[in-house]
A and B are shown apart, each in its own frame.
Chain A
């Protein structure tokens, strides 16, 4: 059943408020996570590149994976925005909020993980290029955290009440 937000005594009972907050958090927190990931791993990649230019392209994977976090957040955010209609129910509004918060918070954590692991991976690869394929595993595992959240977020958006 659609809710008329202007008739409500508190904004927290308005489904559009929750849905909008969820969409915003998804994009904002994911962007912060991606920024952290790129900001932390980037200098280490540059440092590795100064000493061993041949490994720079390989180690660049850390920034690509960090950038992907922002894309996941954007996907959840945009899908959430498309769902914000006058017919939005309070249940659907809260689901959109949960989806956005899940995606955003997970991307924030994954971004820090990718930054720290990517930085160590770049340093280790600069020292021993042959260990790249093993050092990159921790980076992929950090990225997987955000993928779990993406899947959960999409399920929250596409299942349950409309």
Chain B
């Protein structure tokens, strides 16, 4: 444990100083609220130009990716391995969105415009996957036997609506699990202790989303699609969720969970108001923001600080994307703000 701390102190202090400097430039609550009141995307761009994003406004879309890649270049040893594993999550997101795009009959060029710059998979590799029509072959080529088993029962031809979202959740969840396993199995001491709650809550929420969505579409064999690892949503809690008669009952069970109850309180009401499960993602992001804030207040020499910064930066990117999409869609300000995860 002490050797880990010493190695971070000696090797990662350059990186830690840089990300702390970067943290001061993240958009705050007031700035995001001001953006959410904008009437158009042009107005948002204008407001951003006045703030810390001014100098890099031209590359706003890849700002988050640039930050991660710059940190990756400045890192070494196990911190660099950690950042590679963090980026592999985006491979899972890329494959998930590739499957959904294919199922929707969209072209490769349409998919390419949405490609995530942080993903490690090359364009050529993705193009080859896009040419495949069998989901299990795509899962085998892009992932492993675990992913193949989890997407069993789905085929590209019949993925639409909530089912497409379910497949996306299953594939993204597989990526989250891979990241969680790296932290759980390859890291130790304070690094593991600091990172596990963030990665662990992500897999728990992924499982919760898969169960609720399966109930919404009445899918069978849900257990086969779940992530076998868990953090606080243990087997007993999962059995309880699976036993629920419908999605609303499952949401009530989730809201009374001993650990996640506080972040999922009023889940049923939120779902009935929005008819969407996006509130789970927002609740998870708020929870992870809180964990990250606490990590920044603690001892500075740990990989936890790096992950905490990445959570804040990723959240900022998602908030900005929500504001841009919400303003473009003409969402009322209150509704738009409910989609933002902002630190209390």
Query: Is the pairing of A and B real?
Result: yes
* A residues near B74, Cβ cutoff 8 Å: 47
Q: Does B13 contact A (CB under 8 A)?
A: yes
B26-47: CB near A (< 8 Å → 1, else 0) gives 0000000000000000000000
What are some 12 contacts across the A-B interface (CB < 8 A)? Answer: A40-B13, A43-B13, A47-B14, A50-B18, A51-B18, A52-B21, A52-B24, A119-B9, A122-B13, A123-B300, A127-B21, A127-B23
With A and B bound together, what is the CA distance between A45 and B17 in angstroms?
7
B127 at the interface (CB under 8 A from A): no
A126 / chain B contacts, CB cutoff of 8 Å: 17-18, 20-21, 24
Cβ-Cβ contact count across A and B, 8 Å cutoff:
62
B22 in the interface, Cβ–Cβ < 8 Å? yes
- Count of chain A residues near B, Cβ 8 A: 22
Residues in chain B near residue A41, CB distance under 8 A: 13
Q: Which residues from chain B contact A149 at a C-beta distance below 8 Å?
A: none
How far apart sit A122 and B16, CA to CA, in the bound complex (Å)?
10
Distance between Cα atoms of A44 and B16 in the complex (Å): 7
Asked if B245 is at the interface of the complex by the 8 Å CB criterion, the answer is no
A interface footprint on B91-133 (CB within 8 Å = 1, 0 otherwise): 0000000000000000000000000000000000000000000
Most buried by B among A45, A46, A51, A128: A51
A47 touching B9 in the complex, CB below 8 Å, given contacts A123-B20, A126-B24, A128-B24: no
Is the Cβ of A44 less than 8 Å from the Cβ of B13? yes
Q: Which residue of A lies closest to B300 (CB)?
A: A120
- Assess whether B22 is in contact with A123, with CB atoms less than 8 Å apart: no
Interface centre among A39, A43, A120, A123 (most CB of B within 10 A): A123
Contact, CB under 8 Å: A123 / B24 = no
Query: Is B329 part of the binding interface, using a Cβ–Cβ cutoff of 8 Å?
Result: no
